[in-house]
Structure 1
Amino acid sequence: MLPPELPPLPALTHAESDLVDRFLEVLDLVGRINPARSSDTYGGLRAAQALVGRAAALRDALTLMHERGESSIHATTLARALRVLDGERRAARVTLPPAGES
């Protein structure tokens, strides 16, 4: 049986697409660093080292949008894109686990 088909991504500018991708990369790394959800220091250390470069790429994506005159963030559209790209699951790794879950 095939997995269910994902909804299509909303139409995004190249800069918006880059912003979403860079944001998700940073989110994944912060999730790996989260001491409430990790099991070893080495994985967190590696993620923290990579975070510096990914945060700079996120900054660059936002800078490019600003320089191109894209001064508004279309939050509803970008939230839809994040959901299609599994952003809710990825963001959950950044939060504390529910009490009693260890």
Structure 2
Amino acid sequence: MLPPEIPPLPALTRAEGELIDRYLEAADLLGRINPARHGDTYGALRAAQALVAKAVLLRDALALMHHRGESELSAATLARALRVLDGERRTARVCLPPRSDG
């Protein structure tokens, strides 16, 4: 049996695609840094160091969009792209985990 087919990515400008990619990379790193999640300080430190470079790339993607006159983010389209790229799972690691106390 074949796995379910992944929905197609919505049409994005190159800058929007860059924005989505950089946003998810930053979210992945923030998830690794999240002090409420299990991990070690060295791994969190390495993720924090990498986050600096990813934040610059994220800023550059947004600056390019702004420079090109793309003044509005197409939230519905970008949200669809995030969902196709597993953004819900990837960004969930940034949030606090559910309480475990009874």
What TM-score do the two structures reach when normalised by structure 1?
0.95
Q: Decide whether the 8 Å contact of 1:38 with 1:44 is kept in 2.
A: no
Q: Which residue of 2 aligns with 1:51?
A: 51
Cα distance between partner residues in 2 of 1:46 and 1:56: 16
Residue 90 (structure 1) aligned with residue 90 (structure 2): yes
Q: Which residue of 2 aligns with 1:60?
A: 60
TM-aligned CA deviation for residue 69 of structure 1: 0.7
* Alignment gaps of 5+ in structure 1: none
Q: Which residue of 1 aligns with 2:35?
A: 35
Greater shift after overlay, 34-43 or 61-70?
Answer: 34-43
Q: Which residue of 2 aligns with 1:12?
A: 12
Between the two proteins, the alignment pairs up a number of residues equal to 101
Q: Which residue of 1 aligns with 2:77?
A: 77
Q: Decide whether the 8 Å contact of 1:26 with 1:51 is kept in 2.
A: yes
Shift >6 Å, 4+ stretches:
none
TM-aligned CA deviation for residue 2 of structure 1: 2.6
Q: Secondary structure at the match of 2:36?
A: coil
Cα distance between partner residues in 1 of 2:82 and 2:94: 15
